[in-house]
Chain A
């Protein structure tokens, strides 16, 4: 089942009246349970594509269907609500709220969703268990390592039970061990709970773990490979 379907997506930035074509007619579909990585050199359009998929930026042209909803037709406020309920975000710099504890950070989006306290606490406990940080639930983010913070960010992204998670360079600020650990956790969540992850990355470790690699250059998809197909070919 397609949870994301984009057709002919174009993004033109009008910088000082000189148009910059960030995306040039991209067609892609993502299915439930994918563990996909969008790769490409800097300035290729990875982040722009991720922002459009996440409803953080508008396409200049084309159609963006998320879970059957045309994102380009939604108003700003409706898009915000849509993001809250359907999309999880993991950022390169973790972006946890420093004044809240680990537990409060994870509960935050559920509070925005208006989920009852009991349900929030239950879900948070499950997620803390999944990321292996149950014993740190009352710690502030500054007391955690970079890897632990990013695991909390993953748990926060999952808290709202989104349709998919967009992770923008999630391992860029992590050491090898932490990156491996984070990818293992995300891989496990993908396998066991069928959660869709879409990464934008330069990191070979992420590419190695990904089941599908989409390469973008100059705003165009130049390859879209599912690893199983390569193995089958070999």
Chain B
């Protein structure tokens, strides 16, 4: 009886109820969509960190990452790569020579990190090959080819085929230089990365630095699934106890902070939306109670218990909130799912996003767990908003209320 009466009461003042429902719907839609948008941004950034910049796991000599000490090299590199690839969930592994160096063009020079890679191995690890906007990714078998970022190319004022002089310290700690030609230019949506990293063939850099091909500074490991990172890291740490095995969150702690920071932001954002809705609902329900003083007084007079009066007002509020909330959640979910496929291209802010390492093409991401959490938050908001108006109804004196004009 109360369920039906409360539902009918919601529609007593259709216009007002529809306005409240639309307000709740828009608020919840905005909340769900913003959650999906932020999730998408974080996910995109994490995937960039893993698939473009770092990979899931990297292996180094202990201390190498602190100052990129050239002498801290991993010996018998191929046997270690073999061991790594034999570990469960490892999809591929690649060896790299990593040297801090200087690159100079005819116009200017810049401090960079030069990475020597085996292109076929590296293609299984990172997607730099897919980010080439000019030239190619070591398809050309010419010696001393270099693939550089678009931002660095602009800085050095070079284009395809142009010569660059790379200066490094070799195994004998002598300064040595080599002439390389730009064979490809990549654009990863992360300006800092594009400006500071260049790729050359492993063999070319081995030759220039005097390494014999059995040594490298870094092994990058990619896994079948992101969620297996902890397990594989633990196994590799066990089997390669003399080496330093670190995952992407340790190598790029800001990405890890980003995940937790975004989680906090989204909660704060959602709470602000729901709090604003909460006050709107309280205001509406107070009006509802004040408009129906005589009727509520009559209900109490004829024998409706206080708990039922309280329950009736709570139900009306929950109906209002949940009607708007359900539509808002559904609209937010389906809009996010649609945009998850086609993406949102914020091309007009491309420069801004690239300067902080984000792609301007964002694919919102939403899952059912998030939807469940939002639903519970909406129900809680409805119940919380109902408490004060319901108490206000309970305070009515039926003898006075029934005679009120």
Contact = CB atoms under 8 A, between A and B. Distances in A.
Contacts of B402: 56, 89, 91, 93, 95, 168
Interface stretch (B148-156, B243-251, B296-304, B341-349): B296-304
Interface in B1-33: 1, 5, 8-9, 11-12
B398 interface: yes
A156 B302 CA distance: 10
B294 interface: yes
A85 B303 contact: yes
A80 B306 contact: yes
Interface residues of A, number: 30
Interface residues of B, number: 24
A85 B303 CA distance: 8
Contacts of B157: none
A83 B302 contact: yes
Contact of B298 (A77, A91, A100): A91
B403 interface: yes
A112 B8 contact: no
Contact of B11 (A77, A81, A99): A99
A80 B399 CA distance: 12
B95 to A, nearest CB: 76
B291 to A, nearest CB: 11
A51 interface: yes
Interface in A102-118: 108-109, 111-113
A12 interface: no
A74 interface: no
B305 interface: yes
B303 A81 contact: yes
A83 B301 contact: yes
Contacts of B8: 99-100
A93 B294 contact: yes
Given A89-B402, A112-B302, 15 more contacts: A54-B301, A56-B398, A81-B303, A83-B302, A84-B302, A85-B303, A91-B402, A95-B298, A99-B8, A108-B1, A112-B1, A156-B302, A157-B302, A160-B303, A168-B403
